[in-house]
Chain A
Amino acid sequence: NAGVTQTPKFQVLKTGQSMTLQCAQDMNHNSMYWYRQDPGMGLRLIYYSASEGTTDKGEVPNGYNVSRLNKREFSLRLESAAPSQTSVYFCASSEALLSNQPQHFGDGTRLSIL
């Protein structure tokens, strides 16, 4: 049982380049989330998808776009990477938005923007 799988695990980009972070879950969860973690801090929500076909902004959405490709997959795109987006990115999923069930996290993607 893989749970939440993120790819890639590490990536280095130059300022202005674009890339997409991939996330897939195999738990048949309805809701998925993208968070970022900066040094010495907890995680902050970038975007979320309550269910297939819907996406909404979180606390720090600027500079990012998302796609809920199907029930399993939720991708995060940086169109024009900036050094301020250097961070560790975590994808998570849960049975449903506001459900009384835990969120499950992937192992993270370490992204450096030079």
Chain B
Amino acid sequence: GIQVEQSPPDLILQEGANSTLRCNFSDSVNNLQWFHQNPWGQLINLFYIPSGTKQNGRLSATTVATERYSLLYISSSQTTDSGVYFCAVVGGSQGNLIFGKGTKLSVKP
């Protein structure tokens, strides 16, 4: 089945810094989503982005489907950005999302 790899696994930032999270996937996909799992365990939809570029405030994402990767950019990071960021894709016949293992982000004040 399709494989999803995220990097880096852990990231520590000082408040105000910028960061780039990467998601590589092993086959063509028709759905790619980025999620933020906050310290309370909630999964927050950030982007639905099977291709192209989207921006939402300090966050933006780019997916290059032909090269099988997606990037999540966080600018001017804040402590509330801390948590785990997941990339997930739909690539199989069941329609379920296949999740990467996540990038754990810690933003220090």
Contacts and interface: CB of A to CB of B under 8 A. Distances in A.
Contacts of B50: 100
B99 A42 contact: yes
A108 B30 contact: no
B42 interface: yes
Contacts of A41: 99, 101
B91 to A, nearest CB: 10
A88 interface: yes
B100 interface: yes
Nearest to A90: B43
Contacts of A43: 86, 88, 97, 99
Nearest to B6: A42
Q: Contact residue range for chain B?
A: 20 to 34
A58 B96 CA distance: 8
B56 interface: no
The winner among B4, B96, B97 for most chain A CB atoms within 10 A is B96
Contacts of A33: 96
B43 A105 contact: yes
Nearest to A41: B101
A49 to B, nearest CB: 10
A48 to B, nearest CB: 6
Shortest Cβ-Cβ A-B pairs, 10 listed: A42-B99, A97-B95, A102-B48, A45-B96, A105-B43, A98-B95, A43-B99, A107-B42, A108-B41, A102-B33
